[in-house]
Every structure is written in C-alpha cells, then in structure tokens.
Amino acid sequence: MDASMASPVSGMRTHITRHDVTAHDVANVNTPGYEQRDVHQADVRPQGVRITGISRTPNTSPDRSNTDLAEEAKEQIVNKHANAANAKTIKVKDRMIDDLLDLVR
C-alpha cells in the first residue's frame, strides 16, 4: 500500500472497530450487569493509528447496564465524521493521481 494511504486507511479501520464496539454497547444497554467496553488506540509511526486493546468498564450494579447512551451517541458522531474525513483524504489522493497522469500523457 502507498505510504500516503496508510494514515486514512488505518484511521478508517480504527473507527470501524470503534463503531462496532459502540453498537455492541448500545445493543446491550438493557442487559443487566453488562459492562460497557472502551477502545484504546495508539499512533503508528510514521503515520496512522491502530487498536491497542478493548477493555470493559467495571459495572457495580448487577441489575442494570453501565452504558451511557449520551456518551455512545457522541462516539457515533465522532466515528461518522472521522470516517468522512478519511474518505475525503482518499478521494483527494485519487484526484491528485489522476491530475498527475493527465500531465504525463
């Protein structure tokens, strides 16, 4: 893969995982004793991000979930905008290559 594509592609993969975890948390909001999950990520050099782990937030109430729907909604909005930004980066890169090929022809 082209090095300039590593950052947006790894960003999209990371946010897709974050989206999946958030969807799982929301789906289990009414599950007694469910423990909300959190995604941890780290920068990758020279560019990009990767998932370093998924942890559970301890739940002290066995009769309800500890999932915060407002927090999960915010996370989904962040994931949506992050994926849109990464997709835009890929589209711009594609247009730049097209323009360069037009100059060479």
DSSP string, 19-78: HHHHHHHHHTTTSTT---EEEEEEE-SSS-EEEEEEEE---S-TTS----HHHHHHHHHH
Q: Check: pTM over 0.85? Answer yes or no.
A: no
Domain ranges of the chain: 3-104
Sequential pLDDT tens for the chain (105 residues): 577 788 888 999 999 999 999 999 999 999 999 999 999 999 988 788 899 999 999 999 889 999 999 999 999 999 999 999 999 999 998 898 888 888 887
